[in-house]
Amino acid sequence: MKKTIKISLILFFSLFYKNIVTAQSISNEVLMAIKNENFQDLDKLITDDDLNKCYEVRGSSYNFLAISIKMKSLESLKYFVKRKANLEGECTGKTPLMYATKYGQLNAVKYLIENGASLETTNRGRTALDYAKKYEQQEIENYLNKYKK
């Protein structure tokens, strides 16, 4: 039992460390373009190869979908989805759907699900529905329950 816990902890911290260490810095110019929904600038600043990478923002690692959600920019989220960003992409274990749920962004949750985000993906055993319960996002919980298998 103790050996299993030790191995699990080592695996967790190695994955966490890998994600933080491999995350690239993101420029203020890109952050402002996301926040201001300046898609002409984003077209120039972000290549298709950059879409699913992890970027360091305030000590943590996020992809562009998660950054859009954290900045409360539904239009930027839509922009990155249209550019084919990975809906299941994660940098620290949470998918964009989990972030949208955690932060109470029902419209982002709806958009992600309508575009194929999975309700079955887990982070430490938790699904987006579990995040809705944990963060007391009742409206999102009700919405996600409609899709529960």
For 91, other C-beta atoms within 10 Å of its C-beta total 21
Q: How far is CA 66 from the centre of its chain?
A: 4
Tokens of 100: 């949208």
Q: How confident is residue 149, by pLDDT bands cut at 50, 70 and 90?
A: low
Q: What is the pLDDT of residue 17?
A: 44
Rounded to whole angstroms, how far apart are CA atoms 41 and 33?
6
Look at residue 15 and tell me whether its pLDDT is greater than 50: no
Rounded to whole angstroms, how far apart are CA atoms 149 and 141?
14
Is the model more confident about 2 or about 130? 130
Rounded to whole angstroms, how far apart are CA atoms 28 and 101?
26
Is the model more confident about 10 or about 49? 49
Q: Pairing mode, if any, of strands 60-62 and 24-25?
A: unpaired
Q: What is the pTM (predicted TM-score) of this model?
A: 0.84
Superfamily for domain range 2-145:
Ankyrin repeat-containing domain (1.25.40.20)
Rounded to whole angstroms, how far apart are CA atoms 93 and 88?
10
**Using one digit for the tens of pLDDT, what is the confidence trace for 83-97?**
999 999 999 999 999
Task: Report the mean per-residue pLDDT for the chain.
Answer: 89
Q: What is the pLDDT of residue 25?
A: 92
Q: What is the pLDDT of residue 13?
A: 45
Tokens of 10: 């080592």
Q: What is the pLDDT of residue 148?
A: 75
